[in-house]
Amino acid sequence: MRIEQLQHIIEINNKRSISEAAKTFFMGQPQLSHSMKNLEDELGYKIFRRNRAGLIPTCQGKEVVGLAREIINNMEELKSLASGKANLTGNLSLTLAPGVFNSYASCLITGFNGKYPNINLMITEDIDTAIIEKVATGTCLMGVTVWTSNYDETMRRLLDGSDIAYEEIIQDDLSLIVGNQHPLADKEIIRLSDLEGMTFVDYCGRYRNLLRICGINTTKSQFLIVYNREVMKIIIAKNQGIALFPRFFFYNDLFFEQGLLNYRTIEKGKDEIKMKMYLIYSRTKPLSHSARQLKKMLTETIVGNYS
């Protein structure tokens, strides 16, 4: 029995697929299948069985995977104490909501790799519902999701029902995103009445209802629905439309750094809506030492750059 074999069965359990788990280790499916079979032969029983959802652990397999997690976690703790942080090893997966990915993925990868060069960190991008599903099924270790404050209670109930832990990272008001030659660019504070009749760039068709909730009269407004954030920013930079977004979606963004786009504060409406960012991870699977270091760096990176 080798440590790598324990890491293999943990990842197979997470991904419910040998082929998907093999990608984590940059190895072929036959090689990973052989590793798992050798471990099963040594133990004398099957660790996984197949059903419609993919590979799931047998009754004995559940105990093996649980013990394997404890062993790997304890080994990482020992390594961190004995060898220092640079010698931590392993594989970590993190999925970020689109705006969060664009703003923070690059600095997280470079920062974490610089501090823990022997840990393979995989960061992917997905929509919020898919991130929750991935964390619930173990497809990824942690995720960062964003939703509006009026859905906070609903989303918390969903996470509680899926045994997912959640920690609020930051919350922010919605700001007006405007090109530097747009008529509203000269105003420091935007009144709700200033937005009536304007052309809005609506990312994925999600923001029309949100505008109404914020108290903005949209009956005379036009909406340009786009499904690509770069296209959205180009339209706004050409002063052909405006959008409402939280500021944390545009950290580390060249459009803002070059002065092509600007933020403007919007006066408070009758129902103040905030955008809330949460870190989520499984309640049932304890985070390893290296995962806790990623969690700490992620929070510090986002909060530090926001403030």
Query: What CATH number did the domain enclosing 230 receive?
Result: 3.40.190.10
The structure's pTM equals 0.70
Given a cut of 70, whether residue 79 has pLDDT beyond it is no
Max CA pair span of the chain: 74
Q: Give the single-character DSSP code of 190.
A: E
Alpha helices in 116-268 (DSSP H): 128-137, 152-161, 208-213, 229-237, 254-257
Q: Which two tokens stand for residue 192?
A: 């709700």
Given a cut of 80, whether residue 157 has pLDDT beyond it is yes
Domain end among 22, 51, 83: 83
Q: Residue 158: inside a domain, yes or no?
A: no
Buried b or exposed e, range 96-124, using 16+ CB within 10 angstroms:
bbbbbbbbbbeebeebbeeebeebebebb
Given a cut of 90, whether residue 87 has pLDDT beyond it is no
Q: Which is more confident, 72 or 256?
A: 256
Domain count, the chain: 2
CATH of the domain at 14: 1.10.10.10
Domain end among 83, 103, 135: 83
Residue 8: domain span: 1-83
Q: Which two tokens stand for residue 82?
A: 């004995």
Q: What is the pLDDT of residue 83?
A: 55
Q: What is the pLDDT of residue 238?
A: 95
Pairing outcome for strands 164-179 and 274-282: antiparallel
